[in-house]
Amino acid sequence: MVDAATTHAIEYTINGERQQATVPARRLLVHHIRDTLGMKGTHIGCDTGSCGACSVIVDGRLVKSCMMLAAQADGTAIETVEGLAPDGALTPLQQAFNEQHGLQCGYCTPGLLMAASFLLRRNPNPSEAEIRRAIRGNICRCTGYVNIVRSIEAAAGPAASERAA
Amino acid sequence: MTTTAPPQTETWKGQSIRRTEDRRLLQGQGEFTDDVWMHRQGYAHFVRSPLGHARIRSIDTSRAARLEGVYAILTGDEVREMCPTPFFQIAPEPGGRIAEYPLAVDKVRYHGDAVAVVLAETRELARDAAGLVDVDYEPLPAVVDTVAAADPEAPLLHEQVGSNVVWKGDFDWGDVDWALENADHVVKIDRLHFHRFSSTPLECNAAVVHWDPGTDTVKVQSNNQMPMFASMVIGPTLGVASNRLTFSSQDIGGAFGIKIGSYPQIAALALLSRKAGRPAKWTEYRTDHMLSAGHGNERVFLDTEVAVLKDGTILGFKTRAFDDAGAYLHYEPLGAVIWSQVCCGCYKLRHIHVDYTETVTNKCPTIPNRGYSRLQHLWFLERVVDVVARELGFDPVALRKQNYVQPSDYPYETPNGCVYDSGDLPRSLDMALELIDAPKWRERQRELGRGSGKRIGIGIGSTLDSGTNNFGQARIINPNLPFSGNGEAAFVKLDLYGEINVNLGTTPQGQGHETTAAQVVADVLGTSPDAVHVTAGFNQQQNTYVAFSGTYASQFAVTGLGAAQGAAERLRAEIAEVAAFALQAPIDEIEIRDGNCFVRDDPERAIPFIGVANLIYSNNAVLTPELRERISLNCRYVYTPPFQVPDPETKTGNLTLTYASQIHACVVELDEHTGEVKILDYAALDDCGTRINPQLVEGQVHGATALGIGAALYEAFEYDESGLLQQASFYDYHAITALDTPDIKVGDIESPSPFTPNGAKGMGEGGGAPLHAVCSAIQDALSPDDAIVSDSHNPWERVWRLMRSGEHGEPRGVTVASRSDAAGSDATA
């Protein structure tokens, strides 16, 4: 029941910045990111860990931040969509989403960018099947995934290296 | 995201320039409703019925109210006292007698019906407090089937209506009795069922509502997609004048029609805010969304009879349609006429009789969902055509082409007075079949022998996406409704330093309005889209609007862009007039390009936009009094389509301005052991007239296709007998994923509409073509003695049963009566 009395002091980094906070034990990480830190890029699309709109990277692993308590973030390094292009210049992946029309309403986009970033770090040259498997936990209702897959393909492998050069 | 200049002869219209919206959305800088925060806000949570149908004996809020941090609680009884009147009803008698308030009063009528709402300091606390509201229910028997609901003995939802039948109408065009008498074959189909599902936008409904005592206004920041409709429905119920009830939104995370339906909650939040003296912030949980945000219409077609000549000409049909509106009428019963925009679909059927009954049931209220009311009917027609082909031995491709409206027929007037504007359906079908290489799959189908455990089927879905409604069709439902026509507003101005700014009456949800409006305005003003700023989102206090404003029903390319073009043309004329004055040249010699006005044969004589703006905004003493009086550089334009009022007696009229078409072709593989349906190939051929931004059109085609495939194979809302929803989360409701979606091949034809300012047609809904194509393909893969595909939803188990229906001798759901002289005729060739 109502148990806000139990709180935890936590310390973590988010997009490289050190943070300290005292959080109610029951507070979800996604609500901490959105409501306490005021970072609005991480979205919520369901309450069952199904949709992936809240995906962030915690200690190098892709995590649905509605499936994790804020208290569990103690001592971790968190990355969110706001951290992808801190200086405002879009990353090759973000550029590819723009060029390939990989987003419409943009609500699922931050989660997909995190899932795709996670994939490309581990596998810079994924096949279409690997891309589809990697984003199966992210629901998009606008694009039919066609241009999302194209965006990730365009950002992967040689195209990504060329752009970086 | 910079755009490059087109060659001189080209226009920005027609180019796939990249979206200006993307930068903020890609960086997490969008502003969705849950991102809105107000000083002193509380979080709202609704208390919802755990039962399908029950009397409310009592509600005890005392335990919840005792929690520290709970600001206010509202119940239905209190709401009834606060509201001068229930929500306005579109339906005439008897459906019009329904008295719906922002919260349930006396009874709950569906699983998820809201009985109370709590405002508290945090999200978690609001939810906890809602759990402590004690409601004593007396369960009542439920009715969850629309045909059963029409039975006078069925449990009654709204006692004052006297029946669950809320609207009934006879649509009778041509002479169907003559057609059935003179047909060579009459194909009779027992029952076809179009199931319930929803596009379930990824962002749930949300609103921040502030009843501000300081200004005595109600400020609604929400993701409602048809805010003027919401305003007109809830204003009287709240007792608030429309100029004191203001809606706004910036980014909306998908809507698909579903977000027309959030007005009852917004009204409840307004009352809650008034009671608490605080802004009420509400973000729907996904479970709440699935239970109560609105589902697409479910429809049953009984005793269909189709009149067919031996040469394959389909004369027409008659059927009894039952539409399930759910527990309350939200936007309904408009669906009872909207299907008739496409009464004959893609075909030249001249004799149509639909006996249409709309009922309430103990299920979530329906709300327009992508393809609203037309996709149910188009699915029905495509099933009819496929069943006719199968039963009479026609090739489904040839039968379609023979009966399609032909390119030479446009403008084609349907039996109910609608006018199809343009298109090339036979060529679209050919192109779609080419994209999937149909002959290859036919060959593969033949090669697959018995015992392979697999079957292959090829299917077609032919659809029209009718766009730009004539709201006068509402009078066919209720002759007393003072609605007709349609329109959208836009405002284009030259700002203080000569910048171009556009605002629209629309509420975009991913369709790229900022980008495409900039393309259209740039063409008119001779500049680049980069030089045109389109205000993001909608704000009733700043933007211009009409009562039809919003984003819904496949019309932005016509109404929204028509308005932007009209406003830009007005601004261009004003700029030219100021320039002519400043340059002392005749106005017809003024040219405008790249932010400059100059004299045609003497380009040295020029004035930039900043100079024009200066004269009007801050240097007006140099102008003539006449120019000062008349020119503002602030230009509003309302685009209105050329409609007349339809005839409620004959149920005829021009109900829609444009008809985009989508012809889909798909190949499925059925697994005989499991019933799994795998899509092996898929193509969508789109014709939406002139495309303003082809890449965005393609994106819409992809999206509509995936949602349709999802609905055909995975997504369904089903209720048990007591009225409990079985799929109330994304665990149970399998929203289609990247793994389930095939790579969708897209082709296009551009048949410009002769009726629109830019040749474009609305096309966002897509007509539900994948439902038709997938059902058609499954049918094609079944044996001739198997039952027909009679449901729009075909999960593995249903397909598994269908594959065994023939050998088990189950009823096939179809019979054919042929005249003796037609037996063994050409029809079986």
> Does A48 contact B730 at a Cβ distance shorter than 8 Å?
yes
CATH of domain A4-84: 3.10.20.30
Task: Tell me the average pLDDT across B348-377.
Answer: 98
Per-residue pLDDT, B700 = 98
Task: Tell me the average pLDDT across A47-55.
Answer: 97
Q: Which residues of A touch B203 (CB under 8 A)?
A: 43, 45, 105, 107
Cβ pair B798, B789 in contact under 8 A: no
List Cα–Cα distances, B101 to B108, B240, B359, B712, in angstroms: 12, 15, 19, 35
pLDDT digits (tens, 9 = 90+) for B581-633: 999 999 999 999 999 999 999 999 999 999 999 999 999 999 999 999 999 99
pLDDT digits (tens, 9 = 90+) for B552-572: 999 999 999 999 999 999 999
Mean pLDDT in chain B?
96
State the nearest Cα–Cα gap between B653 and chain A, in angstroms: 33
* pLDDT range class, residue B216, cuts 50, 70, 90: very high
* pLDDT range class, residue B823, cuts 50, 70, 90: low
ipTM of the complex model: 0.96
**pTM of the predicted structure, to 2 decimals:** 0.96
Q: Which residues of B touch A14 (CB under 8 A)?
A: none
Per-residue pLDDT, A87 = 86
Say what angle helices A92-99 and A109-122 make with each other, to 10 degrees: 130
Question: Would you say the C-alpha torsion B773, B777, B780, B783 has a positive or negative sign?
Answer: negative
- Judge: domain A92-164, CATH 2.60.120.560: no
Cβ pair B485, B640 in contact under 8 A: yes
pLDDT digits (tens, 9 = 90+) for B631-641: 999 999 999 99
What tokens were used for B579?
């320039």
Best residue in B1, B25, B199, B205 for a mutation probing chain A (most A CBs within 10 Å): B25
Per-residue pLDDT, B825 = 45
Task: Tell me the average pLDDT across A81-103.
Answer: 95
Per-residue pLDDT, A5 = 64
pLDDT digits (tens, 9 = 90+) for B146-194: 999 999 999 999 999 999 999 999 999 999 999 999 999 999 999 999 9
Helix, strand, coil shares of chain B, percent, nearest 5, are: 30, 25, 40
Say what angle helices B513-525 and B561-583 make with each other, to 10 degrees: 30
Q: Which residues of B touch A39 (CB under 8 A)?
A: 28
> Does A104 contact B699 at a Cβ distance shorter than 8 Å?
yes
Per-residue pLDDT, B1 = 43
State yes or no: pLDDT of A161 exceeds 60: no
Task: Tell me the average pLDDT across B387-407.
Answer: 98
Q: What are the structural domains of chain B?
A: 22-30+487-639 (3.30.365.10), 33-140+199-292 (3.90.1170.50), 371-471+652-828 (3.30.365.10)
**Burial letters for B195-210: b for 16+ Cβ neighbours within 10 Å, e otherwise?**
bbbbbbbbbbbbbbbb
Report yes or no: B537 at the A interface, CB cutoff 8 Å: no
Per-residue pLDDT, A62 = 98
List Cα–Cα distances, A25 to A2, A56, B382, in angstroms: 11, 20, 55
pLDDT digits (tens, 9 = 90+) for B109-153: 999 999 999 999 999 999 999 999 999 999 999 999 999 999 999
Long-range contacts of residues B576-581, Cβ cutoff 8 Å, at least 24 apart: B577/B627, B577/B631, B578/B612, B578/B615, B578/B616, B578/B627, B578/B631, B578/B633, B579/B607, B579/B612, B581/B615, B581/B623, B581/B624, B581/B627
Per-residue pLDDT, A159 = 61
* pLDDT range class, residue B820, cuts 50, 70, 90: confident
Of B24, B202, B702, the CB nearest to A146: B702
Measured from the Cβ of residue A137, the count of other Cβ atoms closer than 10 Å reads 18
State yes or no: pLDDT of B785 exceeds 80: yes
Report yes or no: B530 at the A interface, CB cutoff 8 Å: no
Of B25, B31, B731, the CB nearest to A103: B25
**Residue ranges per structural domain of chain A:** 4-84, 92-164
> Does B202 contact A108 at a Cβ distance shorter than 8 Å?
yes
* pLDDT range class, residue B828, cuts 50, 70, 90: very low
**Burial letters for B685-709: b for 16+ Cβ neighbours within 10 Å, e otherwise?**
bbbbbbbbbbbbbbbbbbbbbbbbb
> Does A50 contact B730 at a Cβ distance shorter than 8 Å?
yes
Q: How far apart are CA B476 and CA B459, in angstroms?
A: 35
What tokens were used for B123?
């999200």
State yes or no: pLDDT of A1 exceeds 50: no
Count of positions (residues) in chain A: 165
Q: How far apart are CA B229 and CA B546, in angstroms?
A: 10
Question: Would you say the C-alpha torsion B726, B732, B737, B740 has a positive or negative sign?
Answer: negative
Residue ranges of alpha helices (H) inside chain A are 29-31, 92-99, 109-122, 128-134, 146-155, 157-164
Q: Which residues of A touch B512 (CB under 8 A)?
A: 104
* pLDDT range class, residue B2, cuts 50, 70, 90: very low
Q: What is the DSSP string of B104-156?
A: --SEE-STT-EEEEEEESSHHHHHHHHHT-EEEEEE------HHHHTSTTSPP
pLDDT digits (tens, 9 = 90+) for B699-754: 999 999 999 999 999 999 999 999 999 999 999 999 999 999 999 999 999 999 99
pLDDT digits (tens, 9 = 90+) for A128-155: 999 999 999 999 999 999 999 999 999 9
pLDDT digits (tens, 9 = 90+) for B348-361: 999 999 999 999 99
> Does A81 contact B28 at a Cβ distance shorter than 8 Å?
yes
Per-residue pLDDT, B100 = 98
Q: How far apart are CA B87 and CA B263, in angstroms?
A: 10
Q: How far apart are CA B523 and CA B520, in angstroms?
A: 5
Per-residue pLDDT, B300 = 98
> Does B253 contact A104 at a Cβ distance shorter than 8 Å?
no
Residue holding tokens 């188009």?
A: B378
Cβ pair B85, B234 in contact under 8 A: no
Per-residue pLDDT, A165 = 45
Per-residue pLDDT, B8 = 53
Of B635, B630, B464, B466, nearest to B566 by C-alpha is: B635
Of B26, B251, B699, the CB nearest to A90: B26
Q: Which residues of B touch A35 (CB under 8 A)?
A: 123
Mean pLDDT in chain A?
93
DSSP 3-state assignment of A71?
helix
State yes or no: pLDDT of B826 exceeds 90: no
Best residue in B4, B43, B121, B202 for a mutation probing chain A (most A CBs within 10 Å): B202
* pLDDT range class, residue B10, cuts 50, 70, 90: confident
Long-range contacts of residues A120-124, Cβ cutoff 8 Å, at least 24 apart: A120/A93, A120/A152, A120/A155, A120/A156, A120/A160, A124/A156, A124/A157, A124/A160
Per-residue pLDDT, A88 = 83
Cβ pair B643, B472 in contact under 8 A: yes
Of B507, B590, B460, nearest to B230 by C-alpha is: B507
State yes or no: pLDDT of A158 exceeds 80: no
